[in-house]
Amino acid sequence: MIFLFFCGEGCDVLVKASIYTLGCKVNAYESNFIQSLLKNAGYIIVPFGVEADVVIINTCSVTNQSDSKSRKMIRQAIRENPDACIVAMGCFIQANQDISIEGVDIYLGNQDKSKLLKLLDEYFANREEIRQLYTSLGETFENMEISTFDGKTRAFVKIQDGCENFCTYCIIPSVRGKCRSKNPDQVVEEITNLVHHGYLEIVLTGIHTGNYGTDLETNFTSLLKRIDKIPHLGRIRISSIEITELTDEFLAILKNSSLLANHLHIPLQAGSDSVLKAMNRKYDLSYFREKLSRIREIRPDISISTDIIVGFPGESDADFQSTLDFAREMKFSKIHVFPYSKRKNTPAANFPHQVDDREKKNRAKSLIHLSEELEEAYMKKFVGKSMSVLIETSKDGYSYGHTSNYLHVKLKGIYKSDENVLVRFQSVSYPFIFASIESEVDSNVHQGCV
């Protein structure tokens, strides 16, 4: 398409835009926010891969593979949309501020994403490359707010940005900056609005979610108490939380809240004390074990998933075997496995005894196999029991959804998205637990087995 003039608010010419998102739930939230901005300004949103006039790639840089995928998608966007304005933004751009890719028109890091419409206005007025990049990401939270989450039955709400843990393998503190938190009143208002628009489940997300509020003289548990009181909210899910943030106050909420999902994602990263120390993690295996024991005293059937990195520099065969043994002992319901990725400007990149890539792959395969074994064992515990399921999609005569404890349910019959039904579990065929319908249940009932 040849633009005659910039198509912003009040424009008579329809302009098509598409967004491709890589990486985490925070990126997904930010992309959804930007999509809302574009829609409100009169843009027509089309799927990525359909020719558009503006194409946005929201990148990730957590691993080398993420960098490669980000480059690939940027180049694909340029190739498939030769006349479009190409926007490359996010962590990969923030981490590589001197990057220059022929065909990219706007470079945007992890600040001023909320100002993208103004940047597009400037670009179409002048047709000159824009590089909106900062070495420091500021001290305050860049406020964004959504009222819908496109194509989803659950809505993500970004409550926090930045990380100051400085794990030795991680580039994220340098590309996301210091911890900044959304005002709690705005969080409550946003969630209330999403519930009003029909979202039964809210996923609280951030770069370091459990560190919420340290810059606002409040904390995560105080926010959870307020969210727990929002009328008609069905379920609260936490995207991820560190083991060190499972305070007595948090455990009290876990015990007493009927809305907090029966699932926690708690990153372990390694099942060896020596490797944890080298990673600059803030706990040891004894601490982790004791916390999980306390959690399961409160909720015996809770699903606990985790992240584990394999092949960290200096990780011996014995260290990896310790990881396998500890993961089995903890009975995780799922393990997200990441081969260690050497990231420039991180301490671990210069550590001695880097593990061979082939060995990383072998260890990753072993851990993935264990994860599947543990997942299946966890699902089988619920065969013959009943639980409510939030329906998400339907296809080929079956409906699919997740329970509060994140069982992936396959149910015969077609049920509409956002419908909450009571099912009885029949059998397990990884990665699904098969169920039959019992009855429809009240939309606020989400917890536990019958």
Answer yes or no: is pLDDT of 1 > 70.
no
Q: How confident is the model at residue 13 (pLDDT cuts 50, 70, 90)?
A: low
Structure tokens at 27: 């990126």
Answer yes or no: is pLDDT of 417 > 90.
no
Q: How confident is the model at residue 449 (pLDDT cuts 50, 70, 90)?
A: very low
pLDDT in tens, 387-409: 999 999 999 999 999 999 999 99
Q: Check if the beta carbon of residue 368 is closer than 8 Å to that of residue 332.
A: no
pLDDT in tens, 430-447: 999 999 998 654 444 344
Work out the mean pLDDT of the chain and round it to a whole number.
93
Q: How much is the pLDDT for 236?
A: 98
Q: How much is the pLDDT for 152?
A: 78
Q: How much is the pLDDT for 270?
A: 98
CA distance 259 to 395: 29
CA distance 425 to 395: 19
Distances (CA, A) of 297 to 117, 225, 251, 288, 302: 50, 21, 10, 14, 10
Q: How much is the pLDDT for 394?
A: 94
Structure tokens at 124: 């179409």
CA distance 300 to 431: 22
pLDDT in tens, 83-133: 999 999 999 999 999 999 999 999 999 999 999 999 999 999 999 999 999
Q: How confident is the model at residue 153 (pLDDT cuts 50, 70, 90)?
A: confident
Q: How much is the pLDDT for 3?
A: 39
pLDDT in tens, 34-81: 999 999 999 999 999 999 999 999 999 999 999 999 999 999 999 999
Its pTM stands at 0.93
Identity of the amino acid at 427: S
Q: How much is the pLDDT for 351?
A: 97
HSE (CB half, 13 Å, CA atoms) of 3? 21
| 54: β partners | 17, 85
Phi, psi angle pair for 107, to nearest 5°: -105, 125
Q: How confident is the model at residue 235 (pLDDT cuts 50, 70, 90)?
A: very high
Answer yes or no: is pLDDT of 7 > 70.
no
User: Which range (147-156, 215-224, 245-254, 269-278) has the least confidence?
Assistant: 147-156
Q: How much is the pLDDT for 439?
A: 63
CA distance 107 to 99: 9
Average pLDDT score over residue span 220-225: 98
Contacts of 119-125 with C-beta under 8 Å, sequence gap 24+, read 119/87, 120/6, 120/8, 120/54, 120/85, 120/87, 121/6, 121/8, 123/85, 124/3, 124/5, 124/6, 124/7, 124/85, 125/6
Polymer length of the chain? 450
In 254-406 the beta strands, taken as DSSP E runs, fall at 263-265, 303-310, 334-339, 386-395, 398-402
Answer yes or no: is pLDDT of 161 > 70.
yes
- Specify the DSSP class assigned to residue 101: -
DSSP strand pairing (16-21 vs 44-45): parallel
Q: How much is the pLDDT for 136?
A: 87
Average pLDDT score over residue span 134-147: 91
Average pLDDT score over residue span 177-201: 96
CA distance 3 to 17: 14
Report the percent of the chain where pLDDT is more than 90: 90
CA distance 46 to 417: 22
**Residue that has been written with the tokens 């996923």 in this structure:** 203
pLDDT in tens, 295-352: 999 999 999 999 999 999 999 999 999 999 999 999 999 999 999 999 999 999 999 9
Give the DSSP per-residue string, 391-449.
Answer: EEEEETTEEEEE-TT--EEEEES---TT-EEEEEEEEEETTEEEEEEEEE--TT--SS-
Answer yes or no: is pLDDT of 18 > 50.
yes
Helix ranges (H only) for 84-243 are 91-95, 116-126, 172-176, 184-196, 220-227
Q: Check if the beta carbon of residue 31 is closer than 8 Å to that of residue 155.
A: no
CA distance 141 to 30: 13
Answer yes or no: is pLDDT of 11 > 80.
no
Structure tokens at 89: 């933004």
